[in-house]
Amino acid sequence: MKFPRLLITFVCMAVLSACTTLPRVNMDYDPNFDFSTLKTFYVIPDAVEVLGIPTNPLLDARIRTDIAASLTARGLTQASREEADALISFHVTTQDKTRVTSYNNSYGYYGSYGYAPYHRGYMGYPSQSVDVSQYTEGTLIIDIASAKEGKAVWRGVGTRSVREWTPEELDVVVRQYVDTILGQIPAAEAD
């Protein structure tokens, strides 16, 4: 009985550790905007409805759900578009990339023992290897606009390499992506 439980624990740890790479996050915001005025939010419909760009509806639903959960955890309340203080939009892009890594494998100078004139050293052998790998980089961009002022006040961009994930792994990855990006929103100043 102990072995199956140990196996299940190991598999769960392997799945979670495969998803622990956090995205690189950049953000920009309007330093003159008072983020304490944001109390409610509305997530704008996805890019298919707005721009006519085809997206994965399952991924879209995960992102929308995780944005709502993350903002709710930060103290905001989800509202209709007409009642919202903040309008949230997002989009996802992917790009194929190439990573080239060069390794210097040369051996340095080494000497030998002996008596003159037979004592001599040897130069190392120069050697270099190159590793070329292809990968896909995924980017999630989340924008926040002030509904009252009608302008963008914050943008967060998360980037990381992506691969094929199971639905369970994708749930974890998207949650980490969204939480890491939205964690960069400037804290509202205490009154």
Q: What is the mean pLDDT of residues 46-61?
A: 66
Give me the pLDDT at residue 100, please.
87
Gap between the Cα atoms of 2 and 7, Å rounded: 9
Tell me the pLDDT tens digit for each residue of 111-144.
555 555 655 555 556 677 888 888 888 899 999 9
Gap between the Cα atoms of 79 and 77, Å rounded: 6
Tell me the pLDDT tens digit for each residue of 12-34.
444 444 445 778 899 999 999 99
CB-neighbour burial class of residue 142 (10 A; exposed 0-12, middle 13-18, buried 19+): buried
Q: What is the mean pLDDT of residues 94-116?
A: 70
CB 92 within 8 A of CB 137: no
For the domain spanning 19-97+136-182, the CATH number is 3.30.160.670
Please give the C-alpha separations between residue 26 and each of 80, 140, 141, in angstroms, as whole numbers.
Answer: 29, 11, 10
User: Which of residues 10 and 139 earns the better pLDDT score?
Assistant: 139
Res. 191: pLDDT tops 50: no
Q: Where do the structural domains in the chain lie, given as residue ranges? A: 19-97+136-182
